[in-house]
Chains A and B, each alone.
Chain A
Amino acid sequence: ILNVEQSPQSLHVQEGDSTNFTCSFPSSNFYALHWYRWETAKSPEALFVMTLNGDEKKKGRISATLNTKEGYSYLYIKGSQPEDSATYLCAFWMDSSYKLIFGSGTRLLVRP
C-alpha cells in the first residue's frame, strides 16, 4: 500500500507569516511529485510538478523543494496572505504506474 502523508493536517497563521508544510512519500520507484492548491468550492489546481531529486520550484511567494532519496517535499509560503487560504495537496506518482496517489492535504487558514 502506497502512503502519501502530509503534515500538519491544518495550520492557522497570521497574515504576513511565512509557513511551510511537508509531504512524505515512498523513496523507491519515484516518478513525479505534484503539488495542488484547492480552494473551498473549487477544483484542485496544479501548483508544481517535480521530477528530479533536488528540484526547487517557485511561483510568486510559493516555492517547493524535493528530496526523492529520503522521500519528502516541502512547500513554503512567504508572507502569507488571506487569499493563500486553501488546502494544499501533494500527490505521488510511482514509476510504472499510471496514477497519482494523493495525500490528505494541509488546510491553511491565513487570518487578516
Chain B
Amino acid sequence: DTAVSQTPKYLVTQMGNDKSIKCEQNLGHDTMYWYKQDSKKFLKIMFSYNNKELIINETVPNRFSPKSPDKAHLNLHINSLELGDSAVYFCASSLEGRRNYGYTFGSGTRLTVV
C-alpha cells in the first residue's frame, strides 16, 4: 500500500564503506527525487530523475551516485562514506511539469556513519 517506500529505514555503517539506499514508488509518477535533510533541518535537493533521465544534479560530492533502473525506482549509492554524510535522506516522487501537483515523500532513511 505504501506509495513511496525507502529501504532501509536506518543504516549505521563505518567510515569508508559503500552503501545504497533504495526507493520505489507505486503511484505511476514519472519524476523522482532525493533530498537530504541537513543539520539545520533544511530539505536540500540532491538529484532528480524524470523517466530514468537525470534532470537535476546539485552540487553533491561525486561519491553520491543515483541510479534509476525504471521510472518507479530511484536508488542512491554512496561510496567511501564520511562522517559528514550522516543525515536523513528522503526520496520523493511527483508528476513532471504538473505544477499544481504536490510531492509524495518516503519516510526517510537515517544514515549514521561512525
Contact = CB atoms under 8 A, between A and B. Distances in A.
> What is the interface residue range for chain B against chain A?
20 to 34
B99 A93 contact: yes
Given A43-B107, A89-B43, A98 B102 contact: no
A49 B42 CA distance: 19
Interface stretch (A12-20, A21-29, A31-39, A64-72): A31-39
Interface residues of A, number: 24
Contact of B40 (A44, A91, A93, A104): A104
B56 interface: yes
Interface in A75-112: 87, 89, 91, 93, 98-105
B112 to A, nearest CB: 16
B45 A49 contact: no
A93 B56 CA distance: 14
Interface string B30-44: 010101000011111
Nearest to B4: A43
B108 A43 contact: yes
Give the one of B4, B50, B55, B100 with max A CB within 10 A: B100
Interface of A: 31-32, 34, 36, 42-47, 49, 51, 87, 89, 91, 93, 98-105
Interface of B: 4, 31, 33, 35, 40-45, 48, 50, 55-56, 90, 96, 99-108
Pairs of residues from A and B, 9 with the lowest C-beta to C-beta distance, nearest first: A46-B102, A43-B105, A32-B99, A102-B43, A99-B45, A43-B107, A44-B105, A49-B102, A98-B55
